[in-house]
Structures are given as structure tokens and as C-alpha cells.
Amino acid sequence: MNFPSPILAADYVGHVVGGWEYVQGAYGLTLVALLAYGAYLFNARKDRS
Amino acid sequence: MRHWTLTYSSQTQALLWLPMILLALVLALIGVHVFDPKARRWTWKALAVIGVGMAVGQPFLALSWVPPEKYMGDTGRILYVHVPQVWMALIALTLNFGASLAFLLKKSWVSDALAEASAEVGVLFGAVGVTLGALWAKPTWGAYWTWDARLTTAAILLVVYSGYLALRKFIEDPEKRATWSAVVGIFAAVDIPVLWFSVKWWRSMHQTQSNPSTVDPLMTAVLRYSATAFLALLAVFIYQRFLVASAKRNEEVALPEALPAVGGTP
Amino acid sequence: MSPDNRNRLIAVGALLVAGAALAFIAFGQIGDNLVYYWSPGELLAQGDKAYGPTIRLGGMVVPGSIQWNEAHTGLTFEVGDDHSATAKKVKVQCDQVPPQMFREKIGVVVEGTYDASHFFKTSRLMVNHSNEYKPPKEGEDPKQWMKSLAEEQQAQR
């Protein structure tokens, strides 16, 4: 594919932020946050009932 | 290597309506929950089952089934969590505004407990959404953070509502707490429309709102699916947090006027 | 006054204050003081008053203007008001490797200083993403064309 700038390639080879593992990390973070809050609510409900 | 295609089979096209049907189902359940107190024993459980079920399928759809974005590649998949999380935060905090106003118009511990629950859950979703936005910004924009209108109003939103929650913890008298936090809830809500329109009113780094004409139909479907999953979870979270707040309020209000002397055990 | 009526009065007062604040933000032209970046036209219109302070410049990367010196991580390109040939342009000198999204005709915001050399010097280059999300075309794979570019560049050396 004819891409106008070689800089993109340089950056890709150089230092990559982003990409597959990075995205999985972001999803993992969301999951942890929601699970943690769910667990906190579960405990709080148990204490109050 | 997987090949992506812009022409969908008729089966896939039919599937694109599924998120809207699920959304209608979730909205109907929330409606029943709100208007029929007797149904609340099971509506939240149904919402929890749908929310957890859809959330389990969400990573499959968002990370595998839907094509990557043309320029951002896999990084573009953060869209399916960042955007719905912020939407849910805005819904929860708008609910906080409604509950705050309702409390001032007609004193009720129900609206006070709802205000407490929606603010806390709103801050949770908002914090996750903003964090994901920063993670997304680094590889695409080249910076985790910049003080443009959208990011600044988002930061203000989190700070103000964290302050609101701190205020609630700080005031011990339930009635004063409810009244003053309701006033703060109304003031804080100013930031909600400002955040929404910030990208239209001012030049910003953040792009303006997308709509189905700027987003591929497959991606739109996955975004709607994700939003529906998070909406169901949002409803369950707010309701459960509301029950906790209500129970606490009942304890507080039932307390005798004169508290036992220091050292007395409850 | 009964507590209920007092609360209602507070509600009306709070709504009025909140509504006024919102109206002021929306229609009060505070946007004039909240400029996130200047366009090249606005920067040039300032003349030598723009020399010195750290500012942000935003616009489109002019096609054909990108020059990249890999050995010195030196990047120069032009930022224009828009895509038209008559658009006002400012030359930018960047000493950082740009983000992956950087390319011709894309929106960028650079933070730095402008001076009499008529180069905008920056070490913070940010790329604007539009509100469009599309999959790659038939057979394309984003990772694949990034890789092929890398190989292309290796071959050129």
C-alpha cells in the first residue's frame, strides 16, 4: 500500500504504544473496575440485610 | 490473515438490529422497575442476568468479531468501552440532578438515597471512561492528556462529583446533608451539558460526537450492544447502591434524638 | 416559612443560578478567551506579537510538505488552515517522533513557540482524529500495511 509518509513506519518499528496487548489491558482495567464495584456492593448489601 | 469486508451478508445485516432489540428490552425492564414497585424483586435480577450475559459476550464482539479501525487498527477498539462508559456516567449524573431537584421540591429519603447512589456510580463509570480515554489518546493523539475543552470539562465533572460525595460523608445530620448535597447536585449538573457540547462550542483536541453516518454499521452495532450491556449494569449498580443508602438512611432517621453518652455501645 | 417551602425556594434559587451559569457559558462568548489553538491564519495575523510565548497551533498537514530526517529525529512539515491551495501555512519543526496516526492531510495540534525564523518549533505534536470510524477496505489489514511500510523503509536503506 502506498502510504504518504515513512514516518509512520519509523514510529511503528521504533516505539509502539497501542496495539493488541494495550487494548486488552484497557478492557482488563474496565473489567477489574466493574467487578471490584460489584463486589463492594455485594458486601455492603450483605452487611445491611 | 483475516480479510475484512465492507459488504455484509443478509444474515449479518439482520443481526445489526439485535442490539436495538436488546436495548428496548433493557429499557422496558428499567421502566417496569421504576413504575411497578412490586416488580422490583425480579426486575433487577433480570437486568443483572442480561447485563452480565451481554458483558461476557462484549469482549468477543468488540475485540474479535468487529473489524479493526482503518487507521488506528486494534487501538480503535477502545471505542466500545470508552464511549459507553462516559455515556453511562452522564446518565447517572443526570439522574442525580433529577433526584436532587426532587428532594428539594418534596422531601423524601427515597430521592436522597437515589441521589447518593447515582452520584457514586456515575463517578465510577466516569473515572473508568476518562481513564480509557487517556489510554486511547496516547497512541492516537500522541498524548495521554491535554487541557482542551472536552478533557477539562470531564476533569471538572470528576472533581466536582467526588467533592459532592465527600460532602455527603462530611455532614452528619441526614436532613442538612440531603438539602445541601441537593443544592450542590443542581450546581454540579451545569457541567453535564457543557461537557456534552464542549466539542461543538470550542475548538478542541477531542473529536465531535460521531453518528451512524460517520461510523461503520458493524461498529455502530457493537457500540450499541456495549452501551446496552453497560446500561443494564448501570441500572443494577444504582439500584443496589440505592438499597444500601436507603438502609443507612433508615438507621440514621430511626436514631433517638439524644445520642447515648460517649462509650455507649450501639 | 415551612421547611418544605424553604426547600422549594432553595430549589428555584439553585436552578436560576445554575441556568444563568449555563447560559453564560453557552452564549457568553467566553469561547474567545478559551481558544485551545490558533489557526495558521490567526498566528500569522498576529505578526511579531506571536514571537516568543508558548502557544498551540492547529491545522491540516499540507500534502507533500513532510520531511523526515531519521538520523536526527528531525521532522519538518507545513500546517495549513485547510486543504485549499490558498490556505495560510506555517512551517513546523518538530524534534519528536510523531504518533502513528501522523500523515498528510490530517489535523494536528502542535505546542511550542514561533519566532522570527518563521519556523514553529515544537516538541509536542498531537494528531487529531476525526469522528469517523471505518474498517479497512477489502483485504486491507492495518497492521499489515504498517509492517509493509517498515519493510519498504528497510529496503530503501
Instruction: Check if A2 contacts C (Cβ < 8 Å).
Output: no
User: Could you state, in order of their start, the residue ranges of all structural domains in chain C?
Assistant: 3-32, 35-131
**Cα–Cα dist C8/C130, whole Å:** 45
For residue B88, is pLDDT > 90? yes
Locate the domains of chain B by residue range. Answer: 20-252
% of chain B at pLDDT higher than 70: 92
Query: What are the tens digits of pLDDT across the range C35-89?
Result: 889 999 999 998 888 898 899 999 999 988 888 776 666 889 999 998 777 889 9
Give the pLDDT band (50/70/90) at residue A48. Answer: low
Instruction: Write down the pLDDT at residue B26.
Output: 98
Query: What confidence score (pLDDT) does residue C31 get?
Result: 64
Q: Is the pLDDT of residue B69 over 90?
A: no
pLDDT range class, residue C142, cuts 50, 70, 90: low
ipTM above 0.90, yes or no: no
Minimal Cβ distance to C131: which of B74, B148, B209: B209
Chain A interface includes B207 (CB < 8 A): no
Residue A9: pLDDT over 50: no
Report the topology of domain C35-131: OB fold (Dihydrolipoamide Acetyltransferase, E2P) (2.40.50)
Rounded to a whole number of angstroms, the distance from the CA of A34 to the nearest CA of chain B is: 8
Range with top average pLDDT, A16-25, B10-19, B123-132, B194-203: B123-132
Collapsing DSSP to helix, strand or coil, B262 comes out as coil
Averaged pLDDT for residues B6-18? 75
Determine the pLDDT at residue B254: 77
Euclidean distance between CA atoms B192 and C135, whole angstroms:
31
Q: Which of A7, A21, A23, A46 to mutate to test the interface with B (most CBs of B within 10 A)?
A: A23
What whole-number distance in Å separates Cα of residue C142 and Cα of residue B41? 48
Q: What value does the mean pLDDT take over residues B199-222?
A: 91
What are the distances in angstroms from CA C76 to CA B20, B105, C62, C135? 48, 61, 11, 30
Which of A11-15, B11-15, B60-64, B194-198 has the lowest average pLDDT?
Answer: A11-15
Share of chain C above pLDDT 90, in %: 35
| More reliable by pLDDT, B157 or C53 | B157
Distance of residue C100 Cα from the nearest chain A Cα, in angstroms: 5
* C130 Cβ contact partners less than 8 Å away, ≥ 6 residues apart: B207, B214, C107
CATH class for the region spanning B20-252: mainly alpha
